[in-house]
């Protein structure tokens, strides 16, 4: 998320919604009569979807592939590369479904597909829960197409993303300190995250995120109910 501009729209999701997208992908795979023998879930965003797909499709073979966009100190290479390869024999001769949470540029899932194919898999197909129109890659199965680019905050990394978003907001707004309400105001202004939307998707989470930011030393208390970025 560090590479994004200061203002961009975010969509907060929850487990129920994402589970529904997993079910939609599984329905598509079944309708297509594709019967993968193994699911390759891209780490870390594809893990929840990969596990749910195994359940929906009746598979017990789930393996993982971690793609990485950067080498060394935040040096962009353009093409994502494989960080942790798959164990020997995990896909050889088997029909494979490669799954990730979202295709944004499409780089990760397309590289992953090529990697699995090179490992002498049988038929290899791809799926993502969500597809942005910026993607140059079209997965075989898609849970949902998003008409407008947004940063999607998934339930499995809600705290990670909110820490980044709130730190960014504090830096940009450049106030001495912030109340929780002021932070909500800036989340709406800079990221289109409205209070009600956030409370419906992830109720009562802001105090938890702020407490965690304090514990991690990202922010510090600045008087009762006020926070500022830590030095
Ligand atoms: N990973 C890459 N692009 C993303 C996006 N738009 N939202 C959430 N996670 C992403």
What spacing in Å lies between the alpha carbon of 225 and ligand 1's midpoint?
A: 32
- Residue 134 and residue 173 in one domain: no
Q: What is the pLDDT of residue 74?
A: 47
Contact between 99 and 59 (Cβ < 8 Å): no
DSSP-derived secondary structure letter, 178: B
128 and 197 share one domain: no
- Any domain includes 98: yes
- Domain identity same for 132 and 161: no
> pLDDT: is 191 or 72 the higher one?
191
Segment 126-134 mean pLDDT = 98
DSSP letters spanning 101-158: EEESSSHHHHHHHHHHHHTTBSSEEEEEEEEETT-S---SEEEEEESS--EEE-GGGH
Q: Which residues line ligand 1 (CB under 6 A)?
A: 102, 104, 132, 151-152
Residue 21 lies in a domain: yes
Element (H, E) at 172: helix 158-173
Domain limit, last residue, from 151, 171, 193: 151
User: Residue 191 sits in which domain range?
Assistant: 157-216
- 107, 130, 151 — which closes off a domain? 151
> What share of residues in the chain are helix, strand, coil (percent, to 5)?
40, 30, 35
In a domain, 221, yes or no: no
Same domain, yes or no: 171 and 96: no
**Cβ contact 53:36 at 8 Å:** no
N-to-C CA span, the chain: 22
Is the pLDDT reported for residue 68 higher than 90?
no
Across all residues in the chain, what is the average pLDDT?
94
Average pLDDT on 16-45 reads 98
| 225 falls within a domain | no
Shared domain for 170 and 84, answered yes or no, is: no
pLDDT at 13: 98
Region 65-89 average pLDDT: 74
pLDDT value at position 196? 97
> Does one domain contain both 133 and 204?
no
Answer yes or no: is pLDDT of 71 > 60: no
Shared domain check, 42 and 66: yes
Q: Which atom of ligand 1 is nearest to the CA of 150?
A: 6
The whole-angstrom separation of Cα 6 and Cα 190 is 7
pLDDT band at 6 (very low <50, low <70, confident <90, very high): confident
Question: Is residue 2 included in any domain, yes or no?
Answer: no
CA dist 61 and 81 (Å) reads 23
Same domain (yes/no): 105, 135: yes
pLDDT > 90 in the chain, percent: 87
Selected residue with higher pLDDT from 217 and 70: 217
Asked, for residue 1, whether it belongs to a domain, the answer is: no
Residue 46 CA to ligand 1 centre (angstroms): 12
Q: Using 50, 70 and 90 to split pLDDT, how confident is the model at 76?
A: low
Most ligand 1 atoms within 8 A of CB, residue of 100, 139, 152 to mutate: 152
C-beta separation of 210 from 229 below 8 A: no
Could you tell me which residues come within 8 angstroms of residue 198 by beta carbon, excluding any fewer than 6 positions away? 12, 184, 187, 205, 206
The answer on 118 and 34 residing in a single domain is yes
C-alpha 210: how far from its chain's center? Answer: 21
Q: Which residue(s) pair with 221 in the sheet?
A: 227
Please give the Cα distance from 119 to 38 (Å, whole number): 13
Instruction: Tell me how far apart the alpha carbons of residues 67 and 187 are, in angstroms, rounded to a whole number.
Output: 30
Residue 173 falls within a domain, yes or no? yes
Q: From CA 131, how far away is CA 143, in angstroms rounded?
A: 8
Pairing between strand 96-103 and 10-12? Answer: unpaired
pLDDT, tens digit (0-9, with 9 covering 90-100), for 94-118: 999 999 999 999 999 999 999 999 9
The total number of structural domains in the chain stands at 2
CATH number at residue 101: 3.40.50.2020
Question: Which residue is closest in CA terms to ligand 1's atom 5?
Answer: 151
For residues 149 and 87, which has the higher predicted lDDT (pLDDT)? 149
Name the residue of 44, 48, 101, 191 to mutate for ligand 1: max ligand atoms within 8 A of Cβ.
101
Between the CA of 80 and the centroid of ligand 1 the distance, in Å, is 14
- Does residue 224 form part of some domain? no
Residues 97, 184, single domain; the answer is no
Cα of 226 vs centre of ligand 1, distance in Å, is 30
Is 161 found in the same domain as 134? no
CA 177 to ligand 1 centroid distance, Å = 29
- Same-domain pairing of 199 and 118: no
* Last-in-domain residue among 125, 151, 177: 151
């Amino acid at each position: 998320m560090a590479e994004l501009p200061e203002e961009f729209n975010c969509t907060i999701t929850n487990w129920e919604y994402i589970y529904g997208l997993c079910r939609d992908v599984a329905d598509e795979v079944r309708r297509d009569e594709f019967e993968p023998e193994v699911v390759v879930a891209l780490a870390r965003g594809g893990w929840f979807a990969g596990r749910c797909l195994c359940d929906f499709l009746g598979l017990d073979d789930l393996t993982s592939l971690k793609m990485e966009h950067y080498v060394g100190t935040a040096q962009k290479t353009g093409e994502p590369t494989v960080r942790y390869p798959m164990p020997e024999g995990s896909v050889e001769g088997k029909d494979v479904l490669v799954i990730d949470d979202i295709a944004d540029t499409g780089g990760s899932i397309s590289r992953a597909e090529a990697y699995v194919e090179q490992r002498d898999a049988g038929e290899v197909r791809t799926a993502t829960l969500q597809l942005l129109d910026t993607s140059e890659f079209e997965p075989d199965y898609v849970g949902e197409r998003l008409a407008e680019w947004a940063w999607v905050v998934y339930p499995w990394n809600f705290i990670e993303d909110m820490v980044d978003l709130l730190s960014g907001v504090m830096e940009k707004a450049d106030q001495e300190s912030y109340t929780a309400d002021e932070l909500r105001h800036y989340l709406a202004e800079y990221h289109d995250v409205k209070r009600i939307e956030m409370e419906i998707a992830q109720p009562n989470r802001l105090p938890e995120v702020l407490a965690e930011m304090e514990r991690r030393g990202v922010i510090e208390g600045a008087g009762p109910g006020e926070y500022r970025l830590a030095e």
